Structure 1
Amino acid sequence: MLTRLSIRNVVLIEALDLDFSHGLGVLTGETGAGKSILLDALGLVLGNRADSGLVRSGEDQASVTASFEFARLPGGIQAVLGEAAVDVEPGEPLIVKRRVKADGGSKAFVNDQPVSAGLLRELAGHLVELHGQHDDRGLVNPRGHRLLLDRYAGADAAGLEAAWKGWRSAADALDEARAAVTKAGADRDLLLAHLAELTALEPAEGEEEQLAEARATMQKGERLSGDLAELQHLWTGSDSALAGLRSAARRLDRIAGEHPLLADALAALDRAVIEASEAEDKLGRAGEALSHDPAALDGIETRLFELRAMARKHQCQVDDLPRRMREMRAELDLIEGGEAGLAELEAAAAAAGERYRAKAAALSALRSEAAVRLDAAVAGELAPLKLDAAKFRTSVTRLPDDRWGPAGMDAVEFLISTNPGAPFAPLAKIASGGELSRFILALKVALAEQGGAATVIFDEIDRGVGGAVASAIGERLSRLAEGGQLLAVTHSPQVAARGQQHYVIAKSSEGTVTRTSVHLLDAAGRQEEIARMLSGAEVTAEARAQADRLLEGV
């Protein structure tokens, strides 16, 4: 509920801090005192357009801060804040602030976190429900009528939404499968031809790299063949350097024992022979590795050309060709097994559709039954509100199949006929301002809505009525406020007497400066204000006595 409203420099309000509590709060004051300014200020924190004309003359900016407290943050508010990534700790108040600059522009905050005005508008529907002379939201807006009727009927809207989602999911899966089978069937012959080509080619992962390395090696052998042949000639034959080393080692071996230096020379020569032999072995192996076989090289290049040409054809890398083969086989398997799969999906979609239709039909019947009860309940409220010639009807009509959705197969709208024999039409189209407010009050009482906005405000719902009708309005506002919070801007003493908190709005002038102020009245102040509302400019003893009777009567 709304617990505090702080206003700074809004039109005639210089500085104002108001505290509110549960129950019915009434706001009264003379015409032109500034009640509309108070509502305009509240509208700012509810996301209304930031008009720089609201900034008090001579000031740079205006600001409005509204504090809301809940035993537990309602789910709708949690969802809006969660989507906007705004954190509110459990148990702490929700503080909404809006600043408007005199030169244009505004800033909005929720618990000191910057937010958009759009977020404030999303929160507004959960925080404050405002019903005024020209209200086009709340109960007047047909978009909310179906939800209100469902709450009144105690309908399982969540179960129907789940059935709808299940049906749509099954239908989407069926559509996707049908599209895939249709596409695959059209491509069957092409798939078979492509798969036959790939199967004949038998590509292997990593094959391109292996072939490229083999080709590069052969091409090196072709380049180095002359050098290798010359080197091999130097190391082979009876007149080669290695043969000479070995011959020298044999001769030296026969005389090495004659002197230590000869033995050392033999050891050095043996090492040279070993190193030279290793060089000979490596040259031989290098020659084998780099052997150049023109036929083999031609085969490798032909294979690489075929693989790369196939990869270009299928717009992929050579190493992806084996995967592409597997995909083609899977697509062909889908074609072959598609009919059986489609039959299963068709059965699942049909069953899900039947579940949805059954729930939607049951909800439709529940709505029709609840509509009759609601019409009777509203009818019982109309006569005391001086609307006895009017009639109310809850229209429940079946939508075309293509407009069914998670909320069911019905369109729901509240209609009225204000005169005998007149056709039924939407609330906002045929009701005058005063009639509309009283219709809304009758609806609110009949619905006894739980789960609406945290705070409900009625702006001059009693305009143009008095006596018994005003008393009936006051009694119903008081009843609606039980267990919640309702604020009423009123000119009626009968309504004002019902208030549990009474605020008076007054305008004063000092020289050229005019200010609007709001005060919470005590018991004596309430008596005096209600007496003023009864008598006019001069408060008489009789008016005070009548005010006492009104206050005692409630």
Structure 2
Amino acid sequence: MLQELSVQNFAIISSLQLEFQMGMTVLTGETGAGKSIIIDAMGLLTGGRGSSDYIRQGASKCVLEGLFTMPKNQELINLLEELGIETDEDSLVIQRDISASGKNVCRVNGRIVNIANLRKVGEFLVDIHGQNEHQELMQSEKHLGMLDDFGDKELLKIKEQYEEIYSEYRMIEKKVRSRQKNEKEFAQRMDMLQFQSDEIEAAQFVVGEEELLMEERNKLGNFQKIADALAASHEAINGEGDSSLDKIGYAMNELSSIETLDSEYKALSETVQNSYYLLQEASGDLARHIDSLELDEDRLNEVEMRLELIRQMKRKYGESIESILEYYHEITRELADADFLEGRTGELESLLVEKKAQVIENGLKLREIRKQVAKKLEKDILKELKELYMERTEFDIRFFELPDEQFTEEGLDQVEFYITTNPGEPLKPLVRVASGGELSRVMLALKTIFSKSQGITSIVFDEVDTGVSGRVAQAIADKIHQISENSQVLCITHLPQVAAVADYQYFIEKEIIGERTETKVRRLAQKERVTEIARMLSGSEITKLTVEHAKELLNMAGKERSN
């Protein structure tokens, strides 16, 4: 359940902290006071679509926080572990920041998650039921999902098996259809890939080859410069006449004659000796390089041609030899798969027929168990509608077989709800005959049934009582309170009957503070509840009679809860 809600700079709310309890809580107030803003905040906390439009004028961002009791739900526990979210046994803290730039930052117990994963977590915490769910009832394609939501583990297991077989069938079908439709295009592509593979293979590239070739070309292209430098260096070190090596040899001999006279002279002598021998060794190396130096014009041409080939292949297949070879391995695998599939076309078509038979077999099992679930759901809905003064209603869940080859991942059937609220009249599709008030009651009946099995810890009703009055309003109030016996219920309402049966009531109002409009929320004490319910009964003018009526409603609700 939702324990605490904190809202900062959201719409016309500058700052708001609310605490909630188990049972039924109603939010009441004048039209336009901002009741739905509270529900919008809860929706955003559980993964709803956000926008910078929600940010209070003049603020840089809005911040929403919610403290939830951790549901005892293994699926949720598994999801949180998968997302790397640490939890204790008691609570979950969700925070969502929306900045003026449109950036959203969502955290669950301090760990950042994306919107999609926040929505997955939120599905276990809060179920917001408003006018949009009436719209779902008016979309017949949604009815099958509602039926499945009512199903048990056996239905879920069979549905998962069907979906797995169906997915395999569609994957094989896609391969077969693709080959049948694009055989010419496929053959052209294979020819192109074969040419590319042969071309790259013939090049026999080696990783690092280009760098070595460029270094070799640099040497061959600078032959004369290298030769001149080597010759001049050798001549300077060990040429005829007054060479550097001779001079250093002379210095070495002179220093060796005095090295015994002082330790510093000995160090100098050793340094010059080392230099002499190093220079003598360098002279030998220079001589060997000069002797081996030879201009190879043919090799230079070979290197240039090889580098040109590399350049052309890089332009076609990649930015480096590594990427060219990587591409070669990719197309080699594709060619191998193509050769394998070439011989499997007939085999794939046979497998497609076999897999289709499995889809139909599993689909028939799914249909059978769905029909069993539908019978139970029909019975339960009629029971709930009877308590909502629709006792003469007939309700039927009808199955329509899809034409061959048109079955879907949902199964072999379409499902649609049929209803008649007038005795003697034939059942017709719910989407065509139900009024707004009737839709509210059908949806409330479904919610009552599902709240007992789905394990949602908080259910929010956003003005689901619109369009009803009198005894129907009282029946809806009792039904919403009945739901609160299994889940925490938060309800926005304009009906005094609904407000009266609540365990807790919050009053929402707008105030002008410093020429700015702000929404304020406060929990009402018993006397304040009498005044507020009286206002809901009479409108702007509260009379002694409406006050007495308000007290009566509250007393009746209290007796009903006691019973």
With the shorter chain as reference, the TM-score category is 0.5 to 0.7
Distance 1:145 1:472, change over 3 A: same
Q: Deviations over 1:34-65 (max 9, x none)?
A: 46544332244224676869959xx7589563
- Decide which of 469, 474, 479 is 1:476's aligned counterpart: 479
1:424 matched to 2:431:
no
Q: Give 1:41's aligned residue.
A: 37
Contact 1:184/1:331 (CA < 8 Å) preserved in 2? Answer: no
Contact 2:54/2:62 (CA < 8 Å) preserved in 1? Answer: no
Give the alignment's TM-score, normalised by structure 1: 0.61
Q: Give 1:437's aligned residue.
A: 440
Q: Deviations over 1:377-421 (max 9, x none)?
A: 323333432335654443433445665443323333445455564
Q: Percent identity?
A: 23
Give 3-state SS (helix, strand or coil) of 1:93's partner: strand
Q: Give 1:229's aligned residue.
A: none
Contact 1:132/1:459 (CA < 8 Å) preserved in 2? Answer: yes
Give 3-state SS (helix, strand or coil) of 2:355's partner: helix
Q: Deviations over 1:69-116 (max 9, x none)?
A: 142487888999999x89564554233446688xx9796654578888
The whole-number CA distance in structure 2 between the counterparts of 1:453 and 1:204 is 64
Q: Give 1:264's aligned residue.
A: none
Distance 1:349 1:133, change over 3 A: closer
Q: Report the AA paired with residue 143 of structure 2.
A: H
Q: Give 2:143's aligned residue.
A: 145
Give 3-state SS (helix, strand or coil) of 1:450's partner: coil
Q: Give 1:552's aligned residue.
A: 559
My pick for the range that moved more, 179-188 or 139-148, is: 179-188
Give matches, 1:61-460, under 5 Å: 65-72=64-71, 89=87, 92-97=91-96, 109-110=106-107, 127-132=125-130, 144-154=142-152, 155-156=155-156, 157-172=159-174, 340-388=343-391, 390-399=393-402, 404-417=407-420, 419=422, 421=425, 424-427=428-431, 430-447=433-450, 448-450=452-454, 454-459=458-463
Give 3-state SS (helix, strand or coil) of 2:400's partner: strand
Q: Deviations over 1:270-323 (max 9, x none)?
A: xxxxxxxxx9xx99xx9999899xxxx99x999x999x99x9899789x99999
Q: Give 1:231's aligned residue.
A: none
CA positional deviation for 1:149: 0.9
Q: Deviations over 1:464-520 (max 9, x none)?
A: 3223x3443233223322231222334555544543x22142659799999754314
1:518 matched to 2:509:
no
Q: Give 1:538's aligned residue.
A: 544
The whole-number CA distance in structure 2 between the counterparts of 1:352 and 1:492 is 56
The whole-number CA distance in structure 1 between the counterparts of 2:200 and 2:8 is 79
Give 3-state SS (helix, strand or coil) of 1:488's partner: strand
Distance 1:369 1:118, change over 3 A: closer
Contiguous gaps of at least 5 residues in structure 2: 228-283
Contiguous gaps of at least 5 residues in structure 1: 225-278
Q: Report the AA paired with residue 130 of structure 1.
A: I
- Decide which of 477, 486, 489 is 2:489's aligned counterpart: 486
Distance 1:177 1:520, change over 3 A: same
Contact 2:2/2:69 (CA < 8 Å) preserved in 1? Answer: no
Q: Report the AA paired with residue 442 of structure 1.
A: A
Contact 1:415/1:426 (CA < 8 Å) preserved in 2? Answer: yes
Contact 2:499/2:505 (CA < 8 Å) preserved in 1? Answer: no
Q: Report the AA paired with residue 71 of structure 1.
A: M
Give 3-state SS (helix, strand or coil) of 1:69's partner: strand
CA positional deviation for 1:450: 0.8
CA positional deviation for 1:167: 2.8
Q: Give 1:464's aligned residue.
A: 468
Contact 2:4/2:18 (CA < 8 Å) preserved in 1? Answer: yes
The whole-number CA distance in structure 2 between the counterparts of 1:363 and 1:372 is 14
The whole-number CA distance in structure 2 between the counterparts of 1:184 and 1:496 is 68
Q: Give 1:25's aligned residue.
A: 25
Distance 1:379 1:494, change over 3 A: same
Q: Give 1:238's aligned residue.
A: none
Distance 1:454 1:357, change over 3 A: farther
The whole-number CA distance in structure 1 between the counterparts of 2:406 and 2:162 is 15
CA positional deviation for 1:538: 1.7
Distance 1:168 1:12, change over 3 A: closer
Distance 1:176 1:207, change over 3 A: farther
Give 3-state SS (helix, strand or coil) of 2:544's partner: coil
Q: Report the AA paired with residue 409 of structure 2.
A: P
Give 3-state SS (helix, strand or coil) of 2:344's partner: helix
Q: Report the AA paired with residue 64 of structure 2.
A: T
Q: Report the AA paired with residue 129 of structure 1.
A: D
Q: Report the AA paired with residue 167 of structure 1.
A: Y
What's the RMSD between the two structures over aligned residues?
6.5
